[in-house]
Structure 1
């Protein structure tokens, strides 16, 4: 597919092809959510890489990938497609959480021939209301406060964010600036905040993706409600929905074994699997 927008060279983790695997199933490409990174998926990658090659990407303005203006789903999905070309991957399974779910849906709609199947974790292909004001305020406070250690960073975040689990997740974006002796954010916060309205919108693309699709949702999450399913099936007509008990929006962190098993079972049912 010809590039419609300028792309960035994304950072990624690549497990490589498992040793002794003669079947050589299609790779699994994993895409994190807003303010996440490939690093958040390392424990899952260790499980899935036993049976297939797994590539986890850092989207633009996240993790170790470059910073640039533009957070539309077309721009982010084009970055991912450019990475596939760089790695010589013609076709893969795609797994995306939250914002990353909309990215992989966009990939599937823009280039369905590159997508063997789709796994979408706790997001629907609908427009959402804004809901990250406290998170952005906490991150801005973190920037201004110049914490010297993670305890100070947590105290700064706590001025705006009560939930400790959310603060711990956000703290994964900190790195030490050796020159100044403080912790700084590695994300492109300015670019993310400027592009935030685009993140609330529908995935990119004009056509439905008619390949096999699994939506995993948390029973305690309101990101994928039953009234969103008709619109979901218009865009993803071959969708099956699985609800994980005792899980919220971060279902892969809250119920990791159940999440890993649901992914394994779904992929095992696809034609490329042993």
Structure 2
């Protein structure tokens, strides 16, 4: 039976989600998965079966990312609105208590901040290569500046043109992983990307740009400082997207953190080192209590 996608509207945002049943009716965990910047429906396809071993899995849009929509592009997006919209979507799809949050990159940022703001509702967090604070670096900064100068249409055009380059999505993943040849040689990755392309083609460039502009101004360090919700942070030692020093600062200042770094791994830990990452997550999810410690894998 195909899972039914449901829709939820909160102020300027339409957000959707899909519920995947637990592997057994006896499993009562509620696990919410949130992707990163430029992720779309189907992003967690390879990981969902693993999480179903622990309970019901809810694949939730990152706001502004297809099928989610930002309804009015004239309103500037703030970090507060971003977190409020994402949090209210979580309550809508998973209830308001004992929730496990799993997020990657921008989704990882959201899970850390929401757990800190609502510790009574969140049981535990798995944050993969989380974005911590701006400014946005590299060529993407041009898109941020263009939106602020009201010439975001040029980013829209460039995004659409870039998306039409043959195997553009492959190039995007290649930039973020440690060993591109090895990554793309895996049959499951080839199948994943082939299935993912049609969904990715629906990504609205203006929505993505609005999120990027918000990230340029964002800083979750004051929010998460001292948060005691049990948290697993996983990141690659060779991540070209998120500076390791940013994540290390969160790891040092947050109680109850288990921090695991993966050697010869880039930004997509859950895809690049899927088996090893699932072993680490299994240990975390089955532990009686998460304690603050650091390890290497």
SS of equivalent to 1:216: strand
Deviation, 1:122, is: 1.1
**Mapped pair 1:95 → 2:102:** yes
Deviations 1:154-205 (A, max 9, x none): 33959xx966735997994645xxxxxxxx9422311321342321321387
1:202 paired residue number: 219
Q: Return the alpha-carbon distance in structure 1 between the equivalents of residues 135 and 47 of structure 2.
A: 28
Q: Which residue of 221, 231, 235 maps to 2:239?
A: 221
Q: CA deviation at 1:258?
A: 1.2
Q: 2:252 aligns with which of 223, 233, 238?
A: 233
CA distance in 2, matches of 1:170, 1:73: 33
CA shift in 2, pair 1:227/1:10, >3 Å:
closer
Work out which of the residue numbers 80, 87, 92 in structure 2 matches 1:86.
92
Residue of structure 2 equivalent to 1:178:
none
Q: Is there any run of 5+ residues in structure 2 with no aligned partner, and where?
A: 1-9, 144-153, 177-189, 291-297
What CA distance in whole angstroms lies between the structure 2 residues aligned with 1:134 and 1:141?
14
Q: Which residue of 2 aligns with 1:181?
A: none
**8 Å contact from structure 1 (residues 10, 58) kept in 2:** yes
**1:71 to 1:157, Cα distance in 2 relative to 1, 3 A:** farther
1:7–1:75: 8 Å Cα contact kept in structure 2?
Answer: no
Q: 1:155 and 2:158 equivalent?
A: no
1:107, distance to aligned residue in structure 2 (A):
0.9
CA distance in 2, matches of 1:193, 1:39: 21
Q: Which of the residues 79, 82, 90 maps onto 1:73?
A: 79
TM-score, structure 1 length as denominator?
0.75
- 1:164 and 1:122 mapped to 2: Cα distance? 15
Contact 1:71 1:199 in 2 (8 A): no
Once structures 1 and 2 are overlaid, which stretch shifts more, 57-66 or 75-84? 75-84
Corresponding residue SS for 2:166: helix
Q: Is the 8 A contact 2:64 2:211 kept in 1?
A: no
Alpha-carbon RMSD across the aligned residues, in angstroms, is: 3.6
| Equivalent in the alignment of 2:3 | none
Q: Does 2:33 match 1:27? A: no
User: TM-score of the superposition, structure 2-length normalised?
Assistant: 0.70
Aligned length: 249
**Pairwise CA distance, 1:124:** 5.2
Distance 1:130 1:171 in 2: 30
Aligned ranges for residues 1-274 of structure 1 at < 5 Å?
Answer: 6=11, 8-21=13-26, 24=28, 26-68=29-71, 69=73, 70-87=76-93, 89=95, 90-123=97-130, 125-131=132-138, 133=140, 140-141=157-158, 143=160, 153-155=164-166, 157=168, 165=174, 172=196, 174=198, 185-200=201-216, 201-203=218-220, 206=223, 208=225, 209-222=227-240, 223-226=242-245, 228-234=247-253, 236-270=254-288
